[in-house]
Copies of this chain bind each other. A is one copy, B any other.
C-alpha cells in the first residue's frame, strides 16, 4: 500500500518556513519536497483553514507561518492534514454478520486502539518548537548523520 506522507511532508516545509523571515511560494516549498506546487497548496489548505499558516496572492505573496510555535503540536498538524488513517492493516468488513469475524475484529481492534492512542498521544506531546529544537540538537550532537543514516 502506498504510504501517506502528508504529515511528514508538511512538517518538513514548516521547519523550512520557520528558518525564513519572508513568505515562501508554493513553488519554493515544492522544491524542498521535490513535488508539484499544486500538491503543496492542496496539502497546506487544511493548515490555512485552521489558521496555522496564511497565504497571500500576487507579487511577493506566498505562505507565512502564523501558528504559535510553542503550543501547536504534531497532533494538531496531523488533524490539519485530515487525520489520515494510521494503520495499513484492517478488516475485510467493518460490521460483519459472522460471529467469528466479529470476535476476531474486536480482538484486533483492541490492539489497534491502544497502539493508535499511544501514537497520537506521542504526537500531542511534541510541539513545533520541540521539533525545531530537536533538529538543532541533532545537528550539533550527531553531525555524522549528515552523510548517511540507516533506516
Contacts and interface: CB of A to CB of B under 8 A. Distances in A.
Interface stretch (A48-56, A63-71, A81-89): A81-89
Number of identical monomers bound together in the oligomeric complex: 2
Contacts of A5: 89-92
A88 B88 contact: yes
Contact residues of A: prevailing secondary structure: helix
Interface residues of A, number: 60
Interface string A1-33: 111110111011001100000000000000011
Contacts of A35: 92
B3 A4 contact: no
Interface of A: 1-5, 7-9, 11-12, 15-16, 32-35, 74, 84-92, 94-95, 98-108, 110-112, 114-116, 118-119, 122-123, 126, 131, 134-135, 138-139, 145-146, 148-149, 151
5 contacts: A8-B89, A8-B92, A103-B134, A107-B134, A115-B119
